[in-house]
Amino acid sequence: MVTPLAFVAAVLSVVSFTEAIPTRRDDAFCVQLLTSCVNAGSNAISDPWSIPACIYGATCFGGSHPIDGFLAAVAASQNATAKASLNVPRVTVAVFNHISTDEKVVTQQNFIDGVYGTLSATNGPYPDVSLVISSFQRVAIWTAFCNGAGVPFKNFADYFQFAATVNSNGCPTTTSSGLPISLPISTTIAPILSTSSVTATFLTSTVSTATGPTATPPPFPNISSEPSCQWQFETCVQSVNSDASNAWSQISCLLAASCFGGQRPVDGLLSVVFTTKTGKSSSLAPTSLAEARLSNATLNKISTNGSTVTVQNWIDAYYGQIAATGGPFPTSSAVVISDFQRIQQWTVFCGAAGIPFMNVADYFEFSSSVSSPTSC
């Protein structure tokens, strides 16, 4: 692990707080985080790092003194006097542990999950994950924890207290032997599409198991190495009825089928959902030809125009479902785009205009038994 910054030996680059000229990123999600922080009231001034929206919002600010710039913006919105980051309480262990999953480090994925989870309170707007990674890079680079293993508590808290007044050497680009090193946190992922229009429709699921809605969920097999796909599958299992005959009325099941692997992913998904739900043999599982057809009513929960499903609709549905629990979100919207392309390829509706409802429903009914005559 990279040696943490030694603040005792650090050279302070002290600049008057009033001289800080921040560079504010006006991405919609950054504006929302700032707004949510401001709306938290007086604590946003006196104890900002007790508020998740303030923590994540502060990382949206660039420039020479980003943290103090953020605090100044919050104070200005409340017509209050800004405090410098050196003079507000540090990030606490309790707040850190709310972000971290191992209570030792905050990883890039922890940070992504935290941002999306915080935005779920306002139903978005959800950014492309590359923008959130860019925010996390500021913390990782300043603390010099550049190996992708995460930022420890002390160093994470140091960023919010000292980044405005202490210069950092940042991340090295080579090892001590002179060989290039890989910096996962510095990977640039070009934003392809954003998760900008998620609605609250997807944020609730009706859970019903064979023994009633409060029954203990069954043990789940691991069907995907992608955590967000695994989440969709597990939510699907908990949402379907006792014989999994209503799978296509559940948004999570549609999304899980689109990320399920194999030559016949739709039937494959139905089989594993049925066996997990019931404990019965897969030979008794429903097939896509026998399953109740995907309805326009369900597709209307995904579509924004009432007639087609676009790749943006699919991304918004995918992220919107997961927002109910604050993660795990995909590492990139490219993951979801790849899933949707399966449906595009089979239906041969390959453009940005989307796939008509009838053809989307056809995919979930026939793709496991009928080959597409062509592809995109």
The single residue listed with the structure tokens 């954003």 is: 194
8 A C-beta contact, residue 135 and residue 128: no
Per-residue model confidence (pLDDT) at position 373? 66
8 A C-beta contact, residue 71 and residue 161: no
Q: What SS3 state is found at 233? A: helix
Low-confidence stretches of the chain (pLDDT < 50) are 1-24, 174-216
Supply the DSSP string of 173-239, one letter for each residue.
SB-TTS-B---GGG------S-B----GGGG-----BTTBTTSPPPP-----SSHHHHHHHHHHHHH
* Helix (H) or strand (E) segment spanning residue 61: strand 61-63
Question: Is residue 70 in a domain?
Answer: yes
**Is the domain of 105 the same as that of 211?**
no
Question: Is residue 226 in a domain?
Answer: yes
Question: Is residue 333 in a domain?
Answer: yes
Question: Is residue 139 in a domain?
Answer: yes
8 A C-beta contact, residue 11 and residue 54: no
**Is the domain of 207 the same as that of 163?**
no
Question: Is residue 194 in a domain?
Answer: no
| Mean pLDDT value across the chain | 80
**How far is Cα 259 from Cα 96, in angstroms, rounded to an integer?**
32
**Is the domain of 69 the same as that of 149?**
yes
Question: Is residue 176 in a domain?
Answer: no
**Is the domain of 159 the same as that of 224?**
no
* Amino acid in position 237: V
Per-residue model confidence (pLDDT) at position 89? 95
How many of the other CB atoms lie within 10 Å of CB of 207?
Answer: 15
**Is the domain of 121 the same as that of 158?**
yes
- The DSSP call for residue 317 is H
Cβ burial, residue 191 (10 Å; 0-12/13-18/19+) = middle
CA distances from 202 to 144, 248, 303 (A): 38, 14, 12
Which of 124, 154, 171 marks a domain boundary?
171
**Is the domain of 25 the same as that of 164?**
yes
Question: Is residue 5 in a domain?
Answer: no
**Is the domain of 228 the same as that of 136?**
no
**Is the domain of 347 the same as that of 284?**
yes
Per-residue model confidence (pLDDT) at position 256? 96
**How far is Cα 16 from Cα 117, in angstroms, rounded to an integer?**
35
The single residue listed with the structure tokens 């953020």 is: 70
Question: Is residue 3 in a domain?
Answer: no
**Is the domain of 27 the same as that of 153?**
yes
Domain hosting residue 32, numbered range = 17-171
Per-residue model confidence (pLDDT) at position 345? 92
Per-residue model confidence (pLDDT) at position 124? 85
**Is the domain of 129 the same as that of 259?**
no
**Is the domain of 220 the same as that of 133?**
no
**Is the domain of 301 the same as that of 215?**
yes
The number of domains in the chain is: 2
